[in-house]
Amino acid sequence: MKSSIKESPLFWPAYLEGATLFVLDETLIPSKFHYVKVRNTKEAVSVIRQMKTRAFGQFLVVLNTFLLEIERAKTFAPKKFLAQIHKTATALNNSRPTFPFSEVTGIVVGWANEALAKGEDAPLYVKKNIFGYLMGIRERRLGRVRQLASILQNDDSILTHCNVSGELAMAAALCKQEGKKIRVFATETRPYLQGGRLTVWELKRLGVDVTLIADNAVGSLMADGLVNKVVVGSDRSCANGDFANKIGTYQIAVLAREFGIPLYVLTQPSNRIPTGADIPIEIRDANELLKFGNRRIVPGKVKGFYPGFDVVCHELITEPIAINVR
């Protein structure tokens, strides 16, 4: 019999209730557990740009934003309805550059076109498809949690970076339920500290042994044999298997290869972009790096440079753990 999976709040960090989308504000964790209310596309773009949600949370926000807009546009004539879907898609596509927003919005636009071509009730058709799609994705992600849990072995010591949207924490908790002893090292993940704030928090909640390290300690850990697997997520994948993830993933992948440590990546394969070199990398405001809590982190005259993501070439991946999101 399959063990039941304990769910992390980061696994499904947004939900729709009536005409409001509730999005878990990940920037406040662990000090506060608060959901931001999103009522329209403008507010959805705002939570994405402010990084109140990220990774899989962005995917949920995109699809649920269409549901909000469909509710508003359900009495529109077909052409006007389609225009509204396009308008929503364009706004979401322009929110941040690295995550493949256009691939997700393109699916919804495709359903809207399909409904109109078939003479279906377009709002109902698109809504049904979104709900079904989300349920399918949820099942596939739960399946991936089980797959990852089967890869993790007793006494494994895992290094992770940033936050894998609940899946690593849930897999580690599942391992624990199954009697496997698993230990996780989580990087801080400067400058937003998602590793410290989110990964450590969710692993602790699920009863998993987790140790926080600074981003610069990964080499020491690997050289000293303190980790034997690396597990990371991915924000965007390419046709050749390259992927983009939170800044810092590339150097972890290079070090893992140097020290013979396998690297597992949770991916959502796509062939829309040929190689990692073609992925647009978001360069964020340097003040997000130079300041913390509105105060400078170091004195003196200094510039800042903050690329939000980096690209890992497929040769450095030991095994992609993929789900189909088409």
Residues acting as catalytic residues: 235
Contact 112, 82 (CB under 8 A): yes
310 binds other proteins (CB under 8 A): yes
Residues in CB range of 323: below 8 A, 6 or more apart: 137, 140, 141, 143, 144, 266, 267, 268
- Of residues 285-304, those binding other proteins (CB under 8 A): 289-290, 292-293, 295, 297-304
CA distances from residue 112 to 78, 106, 107, 325 in whole angstroms, order as listed: 9, 10, 9, 18
Q: Which is nearer to other proteins, 127 or 205 (CB)?
A: 205
CA nearest neighbour of 240 among 259, 267, 280? 267
By CB under 8 A, residue 153 contacts other proteins = no
What distances in angstroms separate CA 283 from CA 61, 234, 307, one per listed residue? Answer: 22, 17, 4
Residue 277 is classified by DSSP as G
Pattern of binders to other proteins over 94-113, x per CB under 8 A? --------------------
* C-alpha distances out from residue 36 to 25, 30, 188, Å: 6, 15, 24
Binds other proteins by CB under 8 A, chosen from 52, 197, 229, 236: 197
Euclidean distance between CA atoms 166 and 60, whole angstroms: 14
Q: Residue from 3, 30, 135, 155 that binds other proteins (CB under 8 A)?
A: 30
Token look-up 């230990």 returns: 183
Which of 13, 123, 166, 196 forms a contact with other proteins (CB under 8 A)? 196
Amino acid at the residue 308: G
Q: How far is the CB of 54 from other proteins (least distance, A)?
A: 16
Ranges within 234-253 binding other proteins (CB under 8 A): 247-252
Of 52 and 197, CB closest to other proteins: 197
Nearer to other proteins, 37 or 296 (CB): 296
The answer to whether the CB of 248 falls within 8 A of the CB of 186 is no
Out of 33, 87, 283, 315, the only residue in the binding site for other proteins (CB under 8 A) is: 283
**Residue 22 Cβ, how far from other proteins at the closest point, in Å?**
23
Burial of 171 (0-12, 13-18, 19+ CB in 10 A): buried
Among 220, 271, 287, 324, binds other proteins (CB under 8 A): 220
CB nearer to other proteins: give 251 or 318. 251
CB count in 10 Å sphere of residue 296? 11
Q: Which chain residues interact with other proteins by CB under 8 A?
A: 30-31, 161, 185, 187-191, 193, 196-197, 200-201, 204, 209-221, 223, 247-252, 254-255, 258, 281, 283, 289-290, 292-293, 295, 297-307, 310-311
